[in-house]
Amino acid sequence: MGLFRRKKQAAPEEAAAAQLPEPPVTVLLHMNGDAESVGVLLSALPEYSEIALSGENAAALSPPEGKNLTFAGETGARGRYIVYADGDEKFEKEGAEALFGFLSSAEEDVVFFSEKGKVQSDPLAAVISGQRPLPARCAVRRALAQSAEGVGEKYAQTFLPLLFAKSAAAVSYSLSLQAPKKEADADEALALVKLFNGIKPLLPAERYAFAFRYICGEFARIYAEACISGESASLRAADDALKAENMALWVALADRSSFGFVKALRKNGYALPLHLKALLKAKHIFGK
């Protein structure tokens, strides 16, 4: 005897969304401040683009007249590309229009934007091999967009998509005059390690090496900043947590840290000798 199931009826809003054309872009827009320059962003978006709103002031935003834009929840994003933005940014009309125009016909998995200097022909390979740092910002094909709880915006937007991306383009177009820069903290880095532990069997060898190297670098930065600030207790807690989560990363961090400062930390009860602290401060101020 055959088994028959009644087809589930779509909710009215789901049915309506299914009839709309696929948005060329979904902007995940976080709104906590005022919307002074957000109008510039909305006017630059291509027709039928989508805005997924979050934040305290999300309800105050409305689309410009004569523009076919749709609003959606963050989890219901339908655009070909996902772009992350913050309502506090000072959006640049010409740069935003150029970027969205490029995305409307792009085919790459990831598009690095706001690129400075010479644009590389294969930016993804350069990042994976360690020849260049992560992009400051990127647009990501919807299937690769990551929403991992606790890992922080920086990792979700510019690191995790690169683990499985197969192609990338790089453009100099800037979405805004100044993008907010927020480095991840120890809790977010530890959440990233937990996620890495779960996905590492899925990673090809070169992506595993890239991820391992990058995470080591992030912990070295976090430890150095904590040393400079004299946060010995938080350093010890973070180091114990890292050791419990991933012993290989814990060992590699000591071997790869600048001036061997992580080894010195562990030997000296997480209080760094003055000469090493001075070297770290100089490195922090003047860069590599």
Check pLDDT > 50 for residue 2: no
Question: Rounded to the nearest 5 degrees, what angle is found at the Cα of 178, between the Cα atoms of 173 and 179?
Answer: 85
Average per-residue pLDDT for the chain: 85
- Tell me the pLDDT band of 147, cut-offs 50, 70 and 90: low
Report the pLDDT averaged over residues 106-123: 88
191-205 pLDDT tens trace:
999 999 999 999 999
Chain center to CA of 184:
10
Domain ranges of the chain: 20-170, 186-286
Chain center to CA of 149:
12
251-280 pLDDT tens trace:
999 999 988 999 999 999 998 888 888 888
Confidence at residue 245, expressed as pLDDT on a 0 to 100 scale: 98
Share of the chain above pLDDT 70, in %: 83
- Tell me the pLDDT band of 116, cut-offs 50, 70 and 90: confident
Distance (Å, rounded) from C-alpha 222 to C-alpha 119? Answer: 29
User: Helix 205-229 crosses helix 247-256 at what angle (to 10 degrees)?
Assistant: 60
- Residue 53's H or E segment, with its range, is strand 50-54
Greater confidence, 180 or 212?
212
Question: What are the b/e assignments for 45-64, b being 16+ CB within 10 Å?
Answer: bbebbbbbbebeebeebebe
Distance (Å, rounded) from C-alpha 110 to C-alpha 162? Answer: 8
What topology is assigned to 20-170 in CATH?
Spore Coat Polysaccharide Biosynthesis Protein SpsA; Chain A (3.90.550)
- Tell me the pLDDT band of 283, cut-offs 50, 70 and 90: confident
